Amino acid sequence: MPLSPDQQAEIDAQRSETQQTLRATAPGMEKHLYTAHPVLDHGFVRVIDYMGDDAAICQAARVSYGRGTKSVSNDEGLIRYLMRHWHSTPFEMCEIKLHVKLPVFVARQWIRHRTANVNEYSARYSILDREFYIPAPDALAAQSTTNNQGRGAALEGEEADRVLRLLTEDAMRCYDHYEAMISDEGQQGLARELARMNLPANIYTQWYWKVDLHNLLHFLRLRADAHAQYEIRVYADAICDIVADWVPAAYKAFADYRMGGATLSSTALDCVRRMLKGEEVTQENSGMSKGEWREFEGVIDV
Amino acid sequence: MPLSPDQQAEIDAQRSETQQTLRATAPGMEKHLYTAHPVLDHGFVRVIDYMGDDAAICQAARVSYGRGTKSVSNDEGLIRYLMRHWHSTPFEMCEIKLHVKLPVFVARQWIRHRTANVNEYSARYSILDREFYIPAPDALAAQSTTNNQGRGAALEGEEADRVLRLLTEDAMRCYDHYEAMISDEGQQGLARELARMNLPANIYTQWYWKVDLHNLLHFLRLRADAHAQYEIRVYADAICDIVADWVPAAYKAFADYRMGGATLSSTALDCVRRMLKGEEVTQENSGMSKGEWREFEGVIDV
Amino acid sequence: MPLSPDQQAEIDAQRSETQQTLRATAPGMEKHLYTAHPVLDHGFVRVIDYMGDDAAICQAARVSYGRGTKSVSNDEGLIRYLMRHWHSTPFEMCEIKLHVKLPVFVARQWIRHRTANVNEYSARYSILDREFYIPAPDALAAQSTTNNQGRGAALEGEEADRVLRLLTEDAMRCYDHYEAMISDEGQQGLARELARMNLPANIYTQWYWKVDLHNLLHFLRLRADAHAQYEIRVYADAICDIVADWVPAAYKAFADYRMGGATLSSTALDCVRRMLKGEEVTQENSGMSKGEWREFEGVIDV
Amino acid sequence: MPLSPDQQAEIDAQRSETQQTLRATAPGMEKHLYTAHPVLDHGFVRVIDYMGDDAAICQAARVSYGRGTKSVSNDEGLIRYLMRHWHSTPFEMCEIKLHVKLPVFVARQWIRHRTANVNEYSARYSILDREFYIPAPDALAAQSTTNNQGRGAALEGEEADRVLRLLTEDAMRCYDHYEAMISDEGQQGLARELARMNLPANIYTQWYWKVDLHNLLHFLRLRADAHAQYEIRVYADAICDIVADWVPAAYKAFADYRMGGATLSSTALDCVRRMLKGEEVTQENSGMSKGEWREFEGVIDV
């Protein structure tokens, strides 16, 4: 369970105080505010704040004076049009602020998305908690034999046991030594900014992460994708559920045009046209490499 | 008056609808929401939405679970510390969305601040209104004789009259021809995306502009500065008043450390130290150029 | 002709001075350096500097110690893989700096691409030249009757003549008055930063524009597209020719996967699959709106 | 020694191949190209490529046709003016690409500077080397007793020995287990993307990092500062030496206005003015908090 009783009490206090506001409010989002959605063994995603809703996207696209909603169906059509034609700026008019607790090796992938604001818990200033990610048995995957950057089946038996034991023991020992080094009992105590170097990458960190909806959807397209590493994908999945409640029309368009869609190359489109005319197209006469052809087959499902 | 009755009615409708929210709310900001603050002869600034308050800055700096406020004085001290030591990320955790109506030549300066989200009224798609900025008499300044990039005293008498007449007549004639060219009565009608090229740079445009507090303060430091062009400075001034109501502690720290402060070079600091020790320092023995010395005298006010 | 004899002499001087360097050099790009490629009636694109080549993309992708080229065919395959899988960071490792002369209304579209560095000629500081874009007869298009944001056929006869006359006369008159207002003969002279507001949006400006290859390709995808406004598309086309000489493998992959490719939605992919299985798919049973279906037909060309 | 014989041979090969180019070339920078400047025990900084020189800054500021140099002294004055008045865009016209090898905990600080391009060695795809940062004795600092985010004196005697032993043993053991887990001898072998989580934050990673001069100077101001963590400051110092050779005039202006300069608040400037008029100013009558006053005394050195 990722939260201490104190933390849960603070969250409950936040959820108990309702304010009056003239701002646009997304009913589906209010229910998520502050609540910790558990991810992995000790992580979570919490919505701290949000700006805008589906109507705000349309209002900005129209640079209008009023709330921007002509009618809901009208707005949905406009949102689909904007998504289809890569008009990204209206989606930038919505913003979300999350509090995320996540293992360091996940944080290192996540931070590569630069168009966002971040405040991370400082291990120069503070002492990290003894919390490490240890994979559940079904996430303990072998190296893929076909893809250098991928996973195969879950490890089993003795090998799985040994890996779990090593991960756990090393984490505990490193943390014990971290504590021993920074302790000021009977010694000076090593600077925190140095002692943290002894902690392995499965230790949990946390940050506030603020991002606009356009850049968030870009993040989700890459990180909720089947090829993303499992440990970041579960965060992306949790955020997808939140976004679906926040801006339902935008999320639906995103699911259709981005998550469920695919970009076909000029060569691939040409193959589709030839196939629709009845021609027999094979990898050999497709103009694609074997790798491309395999991916193409996956998309058109033949 | 910049608003039509329809527009005013839409704004009034927005202001009449109160929502319940669990989000942080800034009381000083609620009163600004949607209202058009007039700037120049036809322009305005309107707050469309905001995220966060002073406490949100501290909450992010502490990566905390609860609302983040220990006590207001505590928060004020932390905000001053963050501002003084250029910790910019906590200020990025607040966000504001504005609807701005402004002359095109002001918009061209404004857009150079890249870290913001913008949706501008499209003159490819829509027809622009017949509204042009014509300077008030005291803003009708002569070219500076000492600074290539500056203004001198206001023009007077016949010259002032002639300039106002030329600006007004050219604007009206260009707009007449714009309308004549796009008209589809008895002719095909020129494409809007082409006809707009006949409109001078004092025509008004409008946009939604969304920016985080850190980048907004950077914009204000440069554009509310005495050296900024008057026509953008009045927008910056109007926004300063809004920010002071939104995040009073952050604005106060900004006023002290940025707007009212100054950066002294290594050479200038050395001169200050010598002067404090009683040495007679002049431009000749200062190590500064004449221009730098003049600016230095302005700062230390001797 | 966009260049004065002095300017041409400066360019010739630059092209006559060869330096020795240890840096990666792109032979196809050296021939473009400094030369002004004419665009529209007075505009141009000039390459001022560049960093990297096709091999530099691969070198960064491999984080390698040496030049990074195993073999050219190897590099081409890697570049195609990176482009296909949206690995954008290796393409960010190449950079180009252009000097562009362009009408203000084109500059206003262009600047919306924010991830770039810009220095524009300052009309606060300097006096603009009397150069205006006047469309060639075949670019003098009517408003589209089907697309609010588009063009129809070229205007003809008397209407075309009238439009050209109005554009030319208004530009000349506005510039005459600009000159008259800033003149300091027998008067104070209006500040340049004010006088510029009288100049219509077809006046030429110029800037230095520096951008990485990833963001440049994104710009080209949107602006060299058939739906982009003609007056910016001709700049994008000129830059495409330059990029094809600079990074031939990356440009070829871009042409295949981006310019010639298309993104199909989940719904559209489903239709393709149904059609390939022999099903009769029409707009009515496609799940797409009429607009989407029309675009889909354009892509699969049935 | 950070480089293998193979790596050194690749670097030597790169340095032996001279190209002809028409581009601006910085003689002081050519000597740095490709060479590995050692930092910490296994790290380095290597210049892979650069764009522009001092003259390029001026050329962009003037949006000029030719090389932009009127005379060197002229350029120096312009560069000082641009730096003093925070005109950042001309400095963005220079670009540098570095290959950096650095401990992961340093990389995590570094990456917070978002306006840069990065390609990092992938531990999902590849196997990391057995190289860990172990502080030299004089860098083995105690936690500061006055500053939560700082260091005190170096640890001594038995405590120092114990810390070095713990850091070394934990690193070696974690790496042994990393190797054991990914091994495919007699077992499936854990996925690399998972096994890396067992590696502590002092393991070395490497990346290509590309940044413009303006953002690089901002990075250097914060990270070459006395308050920066020692382990990132040594990288910043190494880069300062490179920049001083690359753009000597810009670096000199940076050293005077940024590194050696200080920003005084409105309150602090007021105190300076009062002191220069002979008034006795103390913390009590200064209007500053104790912390601010202490920093102020440090700046004016009384």
Cα distance between residue C118 and residue C128, in whole Å: 18
Q: What is the mean pLDDT of chain B?
A: 94
Ranges A25-39, C212-226, D141-155, D191-205: which has the least confidence: D141-155
Q: Which of C111, C254, C265 to mutate to test the interface with A (most CBs of A within 10 A)?
A: C265
Amino acid at C90: P
Cβ contact, residue pair A17, B17, below 8 Å: no
Q: From the CA of A164, how many Å to the nearest CA of chain D? A: 10
**Is D139 at the interface with chain B, CB within 8 A?**
no
Q: From the CA of B220, how many Å to the nearest CA of chain C? A: 19
Paired tokens of A146? 């076909």
Encode pLDDT of D277-293 as tens digits.
999 999 999 999 999 99
Percent of chain D topping pLDDT 90: 89
* pLDDT of C262: 94
- The residue extents of the domains of chain B are 5-133+202-259, 137-200, 266-300
From chain B, pick out residues whose CB is under 8 angstroms from the CB of A17: 22
Residue A212 host element (H or E) = strand A204-212
Q: How confident is the model at residue D149 (pLDDT cuts 50, 70, 90)?
A: confident
Cβ contact, residue pair D269, B299, below 8 Å: yes
For C103, nearest residue in chain B (alpha carbons): B197
**Is D222 at the interface with chain B, CB within 8 A?**
yes
Give catalytic residue positions of C.
223
**Is C80 at the interface with chain A, CB within 8 A?**
yes
Paired tokens of B188? 């095909």
- Facing C197 at nearest CB: one of B133, B151, B177: B133
Burial B218-237 (b: 16+ CB within 10 A, else e): bbbbbbbeeebbbbbbbbbe
Average pLDDT over residues D230-246: 98
**Is C142 at the interface with chain B, CB within 8 A?**
yes
Percent of chain C topping pLDDT 90: 89
For residue A258, what is the DSSP state? I
Encode pLDDT of D119-146 as tens digits.
999 999 999 999 999 999 999 999 998 8
Residue B20 host element (H or E) = strand B19-21
Encode pLDDT of B41-84 as tens digits.
999 999 999 999 999 999 999 988 776 555 666 899 999 999 99
- Facing C269 at nearest CB: one of A276, A289, A299: A299
Q: What is the mean pLDDT of chain D?
A: 94
- In this predicted structure, the answer to whether residue D265 has a pLDDT above a threshold of 60 is yes
Contacts of D74 (CB under 8 A, 6+ apart): none
Contacts of A86 (CB under 8 A, 6+ apart): C222
Average pLDDT over residues B9-29: 93
Number of C-beta neighbours around residue D103 at 10 A? 24
Amino acid at C62: R
Q: Which chains does chain D touch, 3 or more C-beta pairs < 8 A?
A: A, B, C
Q: What is the mean pLDDT of chain C?
A: 94
Q: Does the annotation place B111 within a ligand binding site?
A: yes
Cα distance between residue D123 and residue B43, in whole Å: 54
Give the residue, C210 or B4, on which the prediction is more confident.
C210
**Is B50 at the interface with chain A, CB within 8 A?**
yes
- In this predicted structure, the answer to whether residue C150 has a pLDDT above a threshold of 60 is yes
To the question of domain B5-133+202-259 being in CATH 3.30.1360.170, the answer is yes
Q: Which of A198, A205, A210, A233 to mutate to test the interface with D (most CBs of D within 10 A)?
A: A198
- In this predicted structure, the answer to whether residue A26 has a pLDDT above a threshold of 90 is yes
Is-contact D178 D195, C-beta < 8 A?
yes
Average pLDDT over residues B131-139: 96
* Unique residue bearing structure tokens 């290597």: D46
Cβ contact, residue pair A264, C261, below 8 Å: yes
**Is A255 at the interface with chain C, CB within 8 A?**
yes
Contacts of B156 (CB under 8 A, 6+ apart): C188
Cα distance between residue A161 and residue D4, in whole Å: 36
Q: Does the annotation place B178 within a ligand binding site?
A: no
Q: Which of C12, C205, C210, C216 to mutate to test the interface with D (most CBs of D within 10 A)?
A: C210
* Unique residue bearing structure tokens 């140095």: A194
Phi first, then psi: what are they for A264, rounded to 5°? -100, 140
Q: From the CA of B194, how many Å to the nearest CA of chain D? A: 27
For A87, nearest residue in chain C (alpha carbons): C222
Cβ contact, residue pair D265, B256, below 8 Å: yes
- Facing B65 at nearest CB: one of A7, A67, A120: A7
Q: From the CA of C200, how many Å to the nearest CA of chain D? A: 22
Q: What ipTM does the predicted assembly reach? A: 0.94
**Is B43 at the interface with chain C, CB within 8 A?**
no
* pLDDT of B146: 83
Q: Does the annotation place D151 within a ligand binding site?
A: no
- Residue tagged active-site, from D84, D223, D273, D294: D223
Is-contact C68 C59, C-beta < 8 A?
yes
Is-contact C192 C127, C-beta < 8 A?
yes
**Is D135 at the interface with chain A, CB within 8 A?**
yes
Is-contact D132 D203, C-beta < 8 A?
yes
* pLDDT of D294: 94
**Is C272 at the interface with chain A, CB within 8 A?**
yes
Q: How many CB pairs under 8 A join C and D?
A: 148
Taking alpha carbons only, the member of B62, A100, A105, A131 closest to residue D108 is A105
Taking alpha carbons only, the member of D90, D116, D94 closest to residue D223 is D116
Is-contact B50 B95, C-beta < 8 A?
yes
Burial tier of D182 (Cβ tally within 10 Å: 0-12, 13-18, 19+): buried
From chain B, pick out residues whose CB is under 8 angstroms from the CB of C166: 177, 180-181, 198
Average pLDDT over residues A137-164: 92
From chain A, pick out residues whose CB is under 8 angstroms from the CB of D152: 188, 191
Cα distance between residue A199 and residue B215, in whole Å: 35
Q: How confident is the model at residue C146 (pLDDT cuts 50, 70, 90)?
A: confident
Q: What's the predicted TM-score (pTM) here? A: 0.96
Amino acid at D115: T
* pLDDT of D71: 64
Encode pLDDT of D1-25 as tens digits.
578 999 999 999 999 999 999 999 9
- Facing D261 at nearest CB: one of B84, B265, B300: B265
Q: Domain D5-133+203-259, what fold? A: Gyrase A; domain 2 (3.30.1360)
- As a three-state string, the secondary structure of chain D is CCCCHHHHHHHHHHHHCCEEECCCCCHHHHCCECCEEEECCCEEEEEEEEECCHHHHHHHHHCCCCCCCCCHHHHHHHHHHHHHCCCCHHHHHCEEEEEEEEEHHHHHHHCCCCCCEEEECCCCCCCCCCCECCCCHHHCEEECCCCCCCEEEECCHHHHHHHHHHHHHHHHHHHHHHHHHHCCCCCCCECHHHHHHHCECCEEEEEEEEEEHHHHHHHHHHHCCCCCCHHHHHHHHHHHHHHHHHCHHHHHHHHHHHHCCEEECHHHHHHHHHHHCCCCCCHHHHCCCHHHHHHHHHHHCC
D130 is catalytic: no
Contacts of B56 (CB under 8 A, 6+ apart): A49, B24, B68, B93, B94
From chain C, pick out residues whose CB is under 8 angstroms from the CB of D3: 65
Q: Does the annotation place A99 within a ligand binding site?
A: no
Cβ contact, residue pair D20, C20, below 8 Å: yes
Average pLDDT over residues A68-94: 86
Paired tokens of D31? 């000597």
The maximal CA–CA distance of chain A, rounded, in angstroms, is: 83
